[in-house]
């Protein structure tokens, strides 16, 4: 490709709303252009990268026996009503509309309903299972606040796959195949990533794993072990039970803590640290009016773990100040487990504490030297809190560290959530109808393009891995309009490399100064740069520069092909 015949729209400045590197560089490099909030045009050079990522995804899906399909973007409401998601899908992200005949449709953000409908029509016998279908397609989610360019757009490109099985062991096998395929995809686009345990969220189901590209700009916190490959979405990581504090129990004392409404106040007043205190949350109960949750004073309750407690009303709801005062006789800042007349569920770490400080269930008073069993009873001990850096890794190896990640992939074991709701059955070998078991597997293809940049850039621009680079080589002739030798060498090398199947961008713009061409080449991140000028050609040489290292060397013209082929 020649820049004289190619729309290379580089910009000196990024737009004010571009906060992260990938957004800034995609705009500055002319890879994308904003059409409206969360909607982007892919420019020619960006489309090349998008297609390369798509091809890698397709290749790895095919390798594990995925069958490519293409389902409509537009989906009828009936199927979503059948699955029960028409009303409850992600608070308004589902874009609904009426067609000209006043029938309800949506712009598909995902295709579980459509594929399950297809599968129940086409899959009749267990002999057709397992079956895995995938598509690469435009999706739309009407985000409240689209931001970070391609990382959180409204319209985006996604690979979504769905598998159907007779039983769990078959689902497990395909789930593992997908894990392998996702790993290879992310290795092929050369990103540092972690597969992390995840919450399966509103989509329902069982096992679930997210694939995160590590990047400071990531929206998700990941907890990972410093000594093993354990990693989990931080909100999902298990906080394991520490050994109990074996200090001899002191004497329970009630102390006056006037105006101390928070853990911090109490610590200041008593000259202790937060990990010597316990805090108590009063929640609405399922069977009893109220339920108490007890955590160590320096820890945060974890909403996902708390939501799993069957003793709580769903969704979990804090009791009001008024309900608390009526039941316990004090304000929220003075509650504690000692003598509390309701079910008490204690976090593992809180349960290991001895001689702790806690509210005395009387305004303005706390207990010191409180101890479990002697002074307070629990119904159960559970993992209720967020993990924190330094917690032991749940796999017993090392301690937890935190990192930020960009979720680019997600694999789920859906089980029979959709297949049961939509009655998708096959006949087993005894001729009996059995509801199929199902998995689903997504990759944010356009988001992955941005995530690659988050890991591969410097202050001059993008640094594309060879597998997804828009061009492998850029040739910059110096003053070609004044030098036949430069022009001939540039054109010759362009023709030779192109003939070898190497994608070359020849910057033949007469109007641009060399400095502008160098800056553009670095901004768009082409891995190999060849500069051709009269000075070098006198010795039969051109200048080669590796974009990643920035190192430049002089090469004989006939050495170029070998150098850029690796």
Interface contacts to its own copies, rule CB under 8 A: 4-7, 9, 30, 33, 35-36, 39-44, 47-48, 50-51, 65, 67-76, 92, 95, 97, 99-100, 103, 105, 107, 114, 117-118, 121-123, 127-128, 131, 133, 137-138, 140, 142, 144, 154-155, 511
Shortest distance in whole angstroms from residue 36 CB to its own copies: 4
Shortest distance in whole angstroms from residue 127 CB to its own copies: 6
Shortest distance in whole angstroms from residue 352 CB to its own copies: 46
Q: Is 69 or 255 the residue whose CB approaches its own copies more closely?
A: 69
Place of tokens 């002999």: 127
Place of tokens 């082929």: 565
Q: Is 281 or 443 the residue whose CB approaches its own copies more closely?
A: 443
Q: Is 92 or 289 the residue whose CB approaches its own copies more closely?
A: 92
Shortest distance in whole angstroms from residue 69 CB to its own copies: 5
Dist CA 303 CA 281 (whole Å): 12
H or E stretch covering 359: strand 356-359
The answer to whether 66 and 52 have CB atoms below 8 angstroms apart is: no
Listed residue (400, 421, 391, 398) closest to 83, CA to CA: 421
Which residues fall within 8 angstroms of residue 72, CB to CB, at 6 or more apart? 108, 114
Q: Is 145 or 538 the residue whose CB approaches its own copies more closely?
A: 145
Which residues fall within 8 angstroms of residue 368, CB to CB, at 6 or more apart? 250, 252, 253, 255, 270, 355, 357
Q: Is 30 or 394 the residue whose CB approaches its own copies more closely?
A: 30
Q: Is 155 or 220 the residue whose CB approaches its own copies more closely?
A: 155
Which residues fall within 8 angstroms of residue 169, CB to CB, at 6 or more apart? none
Q: Is 61 or 281 the residue whose CB approaches its own copies more closely?
A: 61
The 8-class DSSP code of residue 287 comes to S
Listed residue (414, 511, 417, 440) closest to 66, CA to CA: 440
The answer to whether 480 and 448 have CB atoms below 8 angstroms apart is: no
Shortest distance in whole angstroms from residue 426 CB to its own copies: 12
Shortest distance in whole angstroms from residue 87 CB to its own copies: 16
Shortest distance in whole angstroms from residue 138 CB to its own copies: 5
Question: Collapsing DSSP states into helix, strand and coil, what is residue 24?
Answer: helix
Dist CA 121 CA 545 (whole Å): 57
């Amino acid at each position: 490709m020649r820049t004289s015949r190619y729309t290379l729209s580089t910009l000196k400045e990024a737009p004010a709303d571009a906060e992260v590197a990938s957004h800034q560089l995609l705009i500055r490099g002319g890879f994308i252009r904003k059409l409206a909030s969360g909607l982007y045009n892919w420019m020619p050079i960006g489309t090349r990268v998008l297609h390369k990522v798509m091809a890698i995804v397709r290749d790895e899906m095919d390798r594990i026996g995925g069958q490519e399909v293409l389902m409509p973007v537009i989906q009828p409401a009936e199927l979503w009503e059948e699955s029960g998601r028409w009303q409850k899908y992600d608070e308004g992200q589902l874009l609904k509309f009426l067609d000209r005949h006043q029938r309800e449709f949506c712009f598909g953000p995902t295709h579980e309903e459509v594929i399950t409908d297809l599968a129940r029509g086409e899959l009749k016998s267990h002999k057709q299972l397992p079956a895995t279908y995938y598509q690469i397609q435009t999706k739309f989610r009407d985000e409240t606040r689209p931001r970070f360019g391609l990382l959180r757009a409204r319209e985006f490109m996604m690979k979504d796959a769905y598998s159907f099985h007779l039983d769990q062991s078959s689902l497990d096998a395909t789930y593992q195949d997908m894990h392998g395929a996702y790993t290879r995809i992310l290795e092929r686009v050369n990103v540092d990533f972690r597969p992390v345990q995840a919450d399966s969220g509103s989509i329902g189901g069982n096992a679930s794993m997210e694939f995160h590209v590590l990047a400071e700009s990531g929206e998700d916190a990941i907890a990972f072990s410093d000594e093993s490959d354990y990693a989990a979405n931080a909100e999902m990581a298990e906080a394991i039970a520490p050994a109990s504090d074996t200090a001899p129990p002191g004497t329970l004392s009630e102390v006056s803590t006037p105006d101390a409404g928070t853990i911090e106040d109490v610590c200041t007043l008593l000259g202790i640290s937060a990990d010597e205190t316990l805090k108590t949350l009063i929640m609405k109960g399922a069977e009893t009016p109220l339920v108490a949750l007890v955590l160590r004073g320096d820890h945060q309750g974890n909403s996902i773990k708390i939501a799993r407690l069957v003793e709580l009303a769903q969704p979990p709801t804090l009791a009001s100040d008024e309900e608390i005062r009526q039941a316990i006789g004090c304000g929220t800042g003075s509650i504690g487990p000692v003598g509390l007349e309701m079910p008490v569920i204690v976090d593992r770490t809180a349960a290991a504490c001895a001689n702790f400080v806690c509210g005395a269930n009387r305004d303005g008073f706390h207990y010191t030297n409180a101890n479990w069993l002697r002074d307070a009873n629990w119904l159960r001990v559970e993992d209720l809190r967020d993990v924190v850096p330094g917690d032991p890794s749940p796999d017993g190896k090392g301690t937890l560290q935190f990192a930020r990640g960009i979720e680019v992939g997600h694999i789920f074991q859906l089980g029979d959530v959709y297949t049961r709701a939509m009655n998708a059955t096959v006949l087993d070998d005894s001729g009996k109808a059995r509801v199929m078991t199902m998995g689903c597997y997504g990759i944010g293809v356009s988001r992955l393009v941005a995530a690659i940049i988050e890991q591969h850039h410097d202050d001059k621009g993008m640094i594309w891995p060879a597998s997804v680079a828009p061009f492998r080589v850029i040739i910059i002739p110096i003053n070609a309009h004044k030098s036949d030798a430069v022009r001939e060498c540039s054109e010759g090398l362009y023709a030779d490399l192109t003939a070898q199947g190497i994608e070359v961008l020849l910057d033949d713009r007469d109007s641009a100064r060399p400095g502008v061409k160098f800056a553009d080449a670095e901004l768009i991140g082409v891995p190999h740069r060849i500069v051709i000028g009269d000075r070098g050609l006198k010795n039969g040489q051109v200048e080669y520069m590796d974009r990643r290292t920035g190192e430049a060397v002089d090469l004989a013209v006939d050495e170029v092909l070998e150098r850029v082929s690796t």
